[in-house]
Amino acid sequence: MKQIVLASNNAKKLVELSALLAPLGFELTPQGQLGVPEAEEPFGTFVENALTKARHASRLTGLPALADDSGICVRALGGAPGVHSARYAGEPKSDQRNNDKLLQELAHETDRRAHYVCLLVFVRHADDPQPLIAEGEWHGEILPAPRGEGGFGYDPLFLLPSLGKTVAELPAAEKNTLSHRGQALQKLLARIQDAV
């Protein structure tokens, strides 16, 4: 197994990405297990934040690194919460408070279209001049109340009209296939095998 450091300590993200990478012979190790603190995410774009996180994890471990910056963009809110999705309701991070804030912000909106975005960045080493970058989007709409027990983040509010289900109502394997993260990773996988 080839070891890659995951520039995240999100346990659910680790499970999701590990399931997709394991069949190709890659073992993801979360940065926290290697003593790497979280990187600052000062930028206004997903790609800049993901690249910063990947370089940070790689620099401190000497390993190739994979970073994900993802969030939800709501049309009626001008793309918010966007890069601030994980901390939309402030610190400490809380899915419940983030969901409550989103519902409050959309209380008087009729346009509830939204999409998840995932930007994956893979660096072979900290100063990699040609990082591998892949993006995925998953379109849906925001429900007025949560449904389902699975997933994380905004999944209980994110309805997939074509399926009539929220992301939180999907089995994990189906979510991994359809999701913004799954789409981005599929684009990255073909290139990552040749890169490591």
State the binding site.
Answer: 8-13, 40, 69-70, 152-155, 175, 180-181
d(CA 196, CA 192): 6
Q: Which residues carry a binding-site annotation for Mg(2+)?
A: 40, 69
- What is the H or E stretch that residue 194 is in? helix 180-195
Catalytic positions = 69
Are β-strands 165-166 and 158-160 bridged in parallel, bridged antiparallel, or unpaired? antiparallel
| 8 A C-beta contact, residue 50 and residue 120 | yes
Q: Kindly report the number of other CB atoms within 10 A of residue 50's CB atom.
A: 29
Question: Could you tell me which of 104, 96, 40, 35 has the C-alpha nearest to residue 63?
Answer: 35
